[in-house]
Amino acid sequence: MRFRITIGLITAVFLSACAAMPPAAPPPAAAPHPLTILISIDGFRPDYLTPTDTPVMARLASQGALAPKGMRPSYPSITFPNHYTLVTGQRPDRNGIVSNTMEDPALPGVTFSMGNHAAVVDRRWWDEAEPLWVTAEVQGRKTATMFWPGSEADIHGVRPTHYAAFDQSMSSAARVDVLLDWIDDPAGPPAFATLYFDIVDTAGHRYGPGSDEVRASAAEVDAAIGHLLDGLKARGLEGEVNLVIVADHGMAAVPPDHTIVADAEDSGVVRMITGGASGGFALIPGQEARGEALLLKPHDHMTCWRKAEIPARLHYGKNPRVPAIVCMAEVGWYISNADMAARRKPSTRTTGAHGYDNQAPEMAALFLAVGPSVKPGARVTDMDNVDVYPLLAAMIGVRGKPGDGKLPPGVLK
């Protein structure tokens, strides 16, 4: 504890002793950077934002900054790569999370997937980049991450001050309550926090974008964000917190039977590592020529490349974890192989998928920001998701790592 001492009460002897002591440090200044909360609504397209379905977010958008047509995700436009891009500022080819399912020559016999918990918490998959919570913790700022991909691993040997193991069954409101508890930490609130909602993406996959189920899930998340605002107000923080609300990608409708069986004409010569809107294939030793001939020829509704020949605009293909052959489906189609097609029950209704060309309008992702650091009424017309990282670093007041993005103009005051 520091004390202010009145000179008139100090004896000459005490003054002499103090003369040899260094001056007392001034009291700490108030934190110049407000709490910043990064909120991800998985699979939330910008056109889901409406005054009817999402009145809370619509109000926030009117008060702060908005990308009316959304921001471009990175390729492939899927969950884990883009969530890691948002918090590292590096595209998947650089940050190392090149797909939801991937293999690494340096980690033989292991397949990373969202369902492989041992891999998800293994820092070796994440250490190619440094997420913002690690950077902030190293620079003395406390952080809290609610279910953000990567936050369960000790990346670079560092964990957030607060984090939670992913539990999909936890309701949207309960996730907010955990975050509010972390803000109430007697040792002090975090400087940076994240919050993750997955129900909009789940509904989009099952029922397709624009469905009643997607609208209902968007409304539930909107209510949870309203619950967060109420919690901040109860803590005297109304208008004092930066909220950056984003999505990792959009969603496209996939009609029934729009499936491409990539190896239908010659099964057994390639091995599919991942399928969907974006496919990744390994070549079978001894069958390389047949495998390339099978995939690289012209296809209806699908284009494939050797990893070294992927178009430069996709910024993809240099990382060792990218498979030998990468295929991109036409929007509205789904890549499979003969084995998966035989086991998969044919859909009888339109569903949803993502992972397509990141420039496709259907893949655009929500971006809005509001708070004391944000210029009211700002509108962003051209934004990549790598631009979120420098914005967050500036809001938090940390020295960010070099990345692929730039500070979006006109958003900060």
Active-site residues, by number, are 79
Which spans in 89-211 are helix H? Answer: 92-95, 117-120, 132-138, 172-183, 199-207
Characterize 26-53 residue by residue with b for buried, 16 or more Cβ atoms within 10 angstroms of its Cβ, and e for exposed: eeeeeeebbbbbbbbbbbbbbbbbeeeb
Q: Is the dihedral of CA 120, 357, 383, 39 positive or negative?
A: negative
Task: Spell 314-345 as b/e; 16+ CB within 10 A means b.
Answer: bbbbebebbbbbbbbbbbbbbbbbbeebeeee
Contacts of 175 (CB under 8 A, 6+ apart): 146, 147, 195, 196, 197, 224
Beta strand ranges found along 235-377 (DSSP E):
242-246, 252-254, 259-261, 270-274, 278-283, 302-306, 325-329, 334-336, 351-353, 367-370
- Alpha carbons 142 and 376: distance in angstroms, whole number: 27
Which H or E element spans position 144? strand 143-146
- Contact between 119 and 125 under an 8 Å Cβ cutoff? The reply is yes
DSSP 286: T
Comparing CA positions, the residue from 228, 215, 241, 229 lying closest to residue 173 is 228
CA distance 80 to 172: 20
Q: What letters, b where the CB count within 10 A reaches 16 and e where it falls short, cover 176-191? A: bebbbebbeeeeebbb
Q: What is the DSSP letter of 116?
A: -
